Structure 1
Amino acid sequence: MRRFILSTCFLLLPCTSLLTGHPSVCSEVIAEAKTDKVAELYRSMQLEGVVNWKAFRQAVAGYEKIEGRKRDILTLIDFSKPSTEERLYVFDMKKHRLLFSSVVSHGKNSGNNYATSFSNEYGSYKSSLGFYLTESTYQGKNGYSLILNGLEKGINDRARERAIVVHGAAYADPSVVARGGRLGRSFGCPALPPKLSRPIIDAIKGGSVMYIYADASDYLAHSTILETRDLL
């Protein structure tokens, strides 16, 4: 009986360190629980060996924080991978399914086969990292296109001003790799193979979350959405 009462007392204790009385343990416990949940989602979608775990974990952490999202769809672009590999993934977060995977172009001044340099500046012709919300579609000079709203100040919030949109492009077709050793590059837009651009745009338009990832400590130091506890 005494052992039962003691256990119950521990369950009722506030989320503080038993040794120091400080609440620091609380955030660590919550972060670990969230990571376990994301890891379970990662396994249930059978993403091992397909999607970068670190990129996926960050994408889901941000997705859960963005209140303005209207759809249970998450797009991850993983710029730690070369342009010759599939590195754009569309997830149905409600049905726990991977809907699409595709190659995707990066900005011409972000790098050659790998994107290694990023910018929020107009005229930089570089890709921008971070979280976006998708908006409406339109017919432009690149055909059927999707407007992106950058959510992170100083990182990607000039996306609309820079006309950074999702669109199809012949230079983003995998056949280009055989000729040049890498995918063609854009002016900063995530450009898709023409055959996949419309179905992917239709799947993600209208208020879904997009996360453009790279293994860049500078981004994490300035992100207005991700925090250290999201990365534990």
Structure 2
Amino acid sequence: MTVRFGLLSLCLVVSAAVLFSAASGSAAAVSTLSASDGAVSTTAHTADPDVVYDDAGLSGIIAREVFEAAYESVAAHGLELTHGTLAIADMSQPSTAQRLVLVDLKSRELLLRTWVAHGSGSGGLMAERFSNRNGSHATSLGLYRVGSQIVSPKHGAALLLHGLDKGLNDLARPREVIIHGADYVSKKFIARTGRLGRSWGCPAVPRAQMTRVIAALEGDGLLYVYGT
């Protein structure tokens, strides 16, 4: 469902969270927090992080420890991914790298690998500083539940993000941090400047990829932003 959202010129980031509890060779029941009413439900999952990492072919794309950190964060929050999509933005890589991956945890497939921008307050080529503070224009680390699709007056189709880590990213909504498309997230921009452009804290992606990102994450996906 698409809703109109009166944003200022700031970006909005919304994050989503997935719970994966796994025991080798057996299904694990996972509790989840409903995005609408806080109701709890359970779903059985069978694969552990190493199995998903290997089957999705993530070696050489993101480090195993980054994927494991995302998995552990999801489990620590006790949240379930309804349709099984986890996005990981590895901000320890330079912005010229395709450091955003979308993984289907049920089929253990890599759905998408693409570029993602960090905030101007975090650095240039590398994201070196992170903040939850309003006005910092920096990227916030941690786990997000991805919310509804909105229409931003500045960016068009976008996804709300709900920060789940208190003191780390829980001001995502007041900061108007969202997943949105941007022209400065492109191979052409990298060729011209030596790096991606930067947002005001939003995990901006290539405009051409927004349809796929929305389809994979809207409403119940999770985003984990990693940094060092």
Superposition TM-score, scaled by structure 2 size? 0.76
Give, in angstroms, the shift of residue 32 of structure 1: 10
Once the two structures are superposed, the pairs formed by residues 70-85 of structure 1 within 5 Å of their partners are: 70-85=82-97
Aligned match of 2:57:
46
Tell me the alpha carbon deviations over residues 90-122 of structure 1, each in whole angstroms, 9 at most, x when there is no partner. Answer: 000001100000011000010100101000011
| Greater shift in the superposed pair: 182-191 or 193-202 | 193-202
* Pairing partner for 1:191 from 199, 204, 226: 204
Task: State whether residues 22 and 48 of structure 2, in contact with CA within 8 Å, keep that contact through their aligned partners in structure 1.
Answer: no
Q: Secondary structure at the match of 1:212?
A: strand
Aligned match of 1:175:
188
Task: State whether residues 61 and 99 of structure 2, in contact with CA within 8 Å, keep that contact through their aligned partners in structure 1.
Answer: no
Tell me the alpha carbon deviations over residues 152-209 of structure 1, each in whole angstroms, 9 at most, x when there is no partner. Answer: 1100000000010000011111210011000000000000111012211221111111
Tell me the alpha carbon deviations over residues 37-77 of structure 1, each in whole angstroms, 9 at most, x when there is no partner. Answer: 32222112222112211110111122234326433110000
CA distance in 2 between counterparts of 1:91 and 1:31 reads 16
| Greater shift in the superposed pair: 51-60 or 178-187 | 51-60
Counterpart code for 2:151: Q
CA distance in 2 between counterparts of 1:89 and 1:66 reads 22
Aligned match of 1:202:
215
Counterpart code for 2:58: L
Identical columns (%): 38
Bigger relative contact order (CA 8 A; separation at least 6) = 2
Which structure has more strand as a fraction of its residues?
2
* Pairing partner for 1:149 from 147, 150, 162: 162
Q: Structure 2: any 5+ residue segments left out of the alignment? A: 1-20, 25-46
> Structure 1 pair 68/44, CA: closer, same or farther in 2 (3 Å)?
closer
Give, in angstroms, the shift of residue 31 of structure 1: 11
Task: State whether residues 134 and 147 of structure 1, in contact with CA within 8 Å, keep that contact through their aligned partners in structure 2.
Answer: yes
CA distance in 2 between counterparts of 1:183 and 1:66 reads 34
Q: Secondary structure at the match of 2:184?
A: helix
CA distance in 2 between counterparts of 1:76 and 1:203 reads 13
Counterpart code for 1:42: Y
After the TM superposition, which segments of 4 or more aligned residues of structure 1 sit over 6 Å from their partners? 30-33
Aligned match of 1:88:
100
* Pairing partner for 1:57 from 61, 68, 73: 68
Once the two structures are superposed, the pairs formed by residues 10-29 of structure 1 within 5 Å of their partners are: none
Task: State whether residues 71 and 206 of structure 1, in contact with CA within 8 Å, keep that contact through their aligned partners in structure 2.
Answer: no
* Pairing partner for 2:131 from 110, 116, 119: 119
| Greater shift in the superposed pair: 200-209 or 132-141 | 200-209
Aligned match of 1:8:
none
> Structure 1 pair 104/152, CA: closer, same or farther in 2 (3 Å)?
same
The two structures, once aligned, show a CA RMSD in angstroms of 2.1
Task: State whether residues 160 and 179 of structure 2, in contact with CA within 8 Å, keep that contact through their aligned partners in structure 1.
Answer: yes
Superposition TM-score, scaled by structure 1 size? 0.75
How many aligned positions are there? 185
Task: State whether residues 145 and 221 of structure 2, in contact with CA within 8 Å, keep that contact through their aligned partners in structure 1.
Answer: yes
CA distance in 1 between counterparts of 2:49 and 2:73 reads 12
Q: Do structure 1's residue 165 and structure 2's residue 178 form an aligned pair?
A: yes
The structure with more radius of gyration: 1
Q: Secondary structure at the match of 2:223?
A: strand
Tell me the alpha carbon deviations over residues 103-152 of structure 1, each in whole angstroms, 9 at most, x when there is no partner. Answer: 11000010100101000011100000000000001111211010000001
